[in-house]
Amino acid sequence: MEFAMPLFAAVIVAFGLIKRVPVFDCFAKGAREGLGVLYKIAPTIIGLVFAVNLLRSSGAVDVICGFVQPAADFIGFPKEVVPMAMLRPVSGSGSSALLIGVFEQCGPDSFAGRVASVIAGSSETTFYAIAMYYGSIGVKNLRHTLAAAIAADLTAFAVSVITVNAFL
Amino acid sequence: MLNYIWSAIVIVSIICSVVCGNTHELSNAVIDSGAAAIELIMTMAGVMCLWSGIMKIAEQSGFTSIIARLFTPLLRLLFPNLDPRGETFGSITMNISANLLGLGNTATPFGLKAMQGLNRINGQSKTASDEMIVFVVMNTASLQLLPTMLGTLRQTYGSKAPFEIMPCVWISSACALAAALAIAVGINKTKIGRK
């Protein structure tokens, strides 16, 4: 599994060579775009890391976790991951900040760290995507879009716990 | 939305620190958070540039289109009323395959184009069509095959096996997508909620 990323990169570079694409020029162009995206989201990340650090150091996280702990315990959901799961559908950079918060607090190889990782990888910023796509064409009546999208997120949360328990 | 969430977090935290007596920790956190944020951004910068670069090669060499062609049969099942040779269907396949490869910035323009096409087919209605619901729901379930950023963040924070979570991510994504599609397509079929 560790080798998947380098292998994937090699396949794409080799494919580009076969297709006679100016591989390195393309790479540089893409990398520049990547930097541009990061430049755009950097202020958001700084603001959210600030907010998340406040939340953690003030003890507010412990208070919030205290409320949901019985429910989280009941389904075996690690309480440290609750704030991240709650922010995940709303903000991608915000949940990234909370994800590294879990890593710092419990370590990435802990149960909570693994569940947080799987949630980050298998759910999306649902509300943002819905607002952007429907907003772009002026559709107001979403019918059952939200129900289906929220079902996807809740499924991802539940299955994350189940798969981490089963495989790791 | 984020305006309210962010303000709420800041205000609740400061009140909470006074109530719980954690004001000292809070002051330290304010000072440290700037450095912590820049550290996170630097980690993300490396991965983002590297993979944006690699993925640019995939895009320019036609690798993405090949992936898109692999998905055509499946997408035909999900969008039976769309012309598979039409532009809208093409935008949908490109959006889905770009998402799968983790090309968020490429996926979004195709997605917006697909929505415009679906809007035209739907007669510029204010009510979402069946196809729109299926398409948007597919975009709200994360389909990424290789979560590069996630792996790198795990590694940065000391994981011994940053990618061991990948099978779990795939299963979880697949289940989430299946649940979303089951509801979207199921309710589409029963014609409930249609005007």
Q: For residue B174, is it within any domain?
A: yes
Using one digit for the tens of pLDDT, what is the confidence trace for B28-58? 888 888 888 888 888 888 888 888 888 889 8
- pLDDT tens track of chain A, all 168 residues? 667 778 888 999 999 999 999 999 999 998 998 888 888 878 888 888 888 888 888 888 778 777 878 878 888 888 889 888 888 888 787 788 889 889 988 999 999 999 999 999 998 888 888 888 998 898 989 999 999 999 999 999 999 999 999 988
**ipTM of this predicted structure:** 0.83
Residue with tokens 């590069």: B148
Q: Is A87 on the interface with B (CB under 8 A)?
A: yes
CA pair distance A142, B150, nearest whole angstrom? 31
Three-state SS string over chain B comes to CHHHHHHHHHHHHHHHHHHHCCHHHHHHHHHHHHHHHHHHHHHHHHHHHHHHHHHHHHHHCCHHHHHHHHHHHHHHHHCCCCCCCCHHHHHHHHHHHHHHCCCHHHHHHHHHHHHHHHHHHCCCCCECCHHHHHHHHHHHECCCCCCHHHHHHHHHCCCCCCCCCHHHHHHHHHHHHHHHHHHHHHHHHHCCCCC
Contact A127 B1 (CB under 8 A): yes
Q: How far is B45 from chain A (nearest CA, A)?
A: 7
In chain B, what residues touch A139 (CB-CB under 8 Å)?
Answer: 119, 125-128, 132
Contact B158 A108 (CB under 8 A): yes
Look at residue B195 and tell me whether its pLDDT is greater than 50. no
Q: For residue B96, is it within any domain?
A: yes
Interface test with A, best of B59, B134, B154 (most A CBs within 10 A): B154
Contact A74, B17 (CB under 8 A): no
Q: How far is A153 from chain B (nearest CA, A)?
A: 6
> Which whole number is the average pLDDT over B1-17?
84
Contact B30 A54 (CB under 8 A): yes
Question: Which residue from B151, B177, B193 is facing A143, i.e. has the nearest CB?
Answer: B193
Q: What is the pTM of this model?
A: 0.84
Q: For residue B195, is it within any domain?
A: no
Residue count (chain B): 195
Residue A116's Cβ-side half-sphere holds a number of Cα atoms within 13 Å equal to 32
Using one digit for the tens of pLDDT, what is the confidence trace for B121-176? 999 999 999 999 999 999 888 778 888 889 889 998 999 999 899 999 999 999 99
Q: For residue B46, is it within any domain?
A: yes
Q: How far is A156 from chain B (nearest CA, A)?
A: 5
Q: For residue B26, is it within any domain?
A: no
Q: For residue B65, is it within any domain?
A: yes
Look at residue B192 and tell me whether its pLDDT is greater than 60. no
Q: Is A23 on the interface with B (CB under 8 A)?
A: yes
Q: For residue B160, is it within any domain?
A: yes
Q: How far is A74 from chain B (nearest CA, A)?
A: 20
Contact B167 A99 (CB under 8 A): no
Task: Report phi then psi at A141, rounded to 5.
Answer: -90, 105
Contact A42 B142 (CB under 8 A): no
Range among A111-115, B19-23, B63-67 with highest mean pLDDT value:
A111-115
Amino acid found at B39: E
pLDDT score recorded for residue B127: 92
Number of domains in chain B: 1
Coil, strand or helix at A56: helix
> Which whole number is the average pLDDT over B94-114?
84
Contact B26, B13 (CB under 8 A): yes
Residues in A 40-79 with any Cβ partner in B closer than 8 A: 42, 45-60, 63
Provide the domain limits for residue B51: 33-190
Contact A63 B167 (CB under 8 A): no
Rounded to the nearest integer, the mean pLDDT of chain B is 87
Q: How far is B13 from chain A (nearest CA, A)?
A: 5
